[in-house]
Amino acid sequence: MDPVEHASIPTLAYLALSNEPTWGGALALTIGATFPDLDAFTREHRSYLHSLLFALPAFALAYLSGNTHALLFSIGWLSHIFLDFFTGVIPPVYPLSRRGWGVEITARGGPAGFGIGLRIVENYPDPRHDYELNIGGSVALGLVTLAALIIRLH
Which residues of this protein are in contact with Zn ion, per CB under 5 A?
Answer: 37, 84
Task: Rank residues 21 and 84 by Cβ distance to Zn ion and give the closer one.
Answer: 84
Consecutive H or E run containing 5:
helix 3-17
Closest approach of Cβ 100 to Zn ion, in Å? Answer: 11
Task: Rank residues 115 and 122 by Cβ distance to Zn ion and give the closer one.
Answer: 122
Hey, CA dihedral for 55, 61, 63, 65, is it positive or negative?
A: negative
CA dist list (Å): 89 to 64, 81, 121, 142: 29, 9, 7, 24
Task: Rank residues 21 and 74 by Cβ distance to Zn ion and give the closer one.
Answer: 74
Closest approach of Cβ 71 to Zn ion, in Å? Answer: 20
Task: Rank residues 37 and 44 by Cβ distance to Zn ion and give the closer one.
Answer: 37
Q: What is the number of H-type helices and E-type strands within the chain?
A: 5, 2
* 113-123 and 100-110 strand pairing: antiparallel
Hey, CA dihedral for 16, 12, 94, 49, is it positive or negative?
A: negative
Closest approach of Cβ 118 to Zn ion, in Å? Answer: 21
Closest approach of Cβ 36 to Zn ion, in Å? Answer: 5
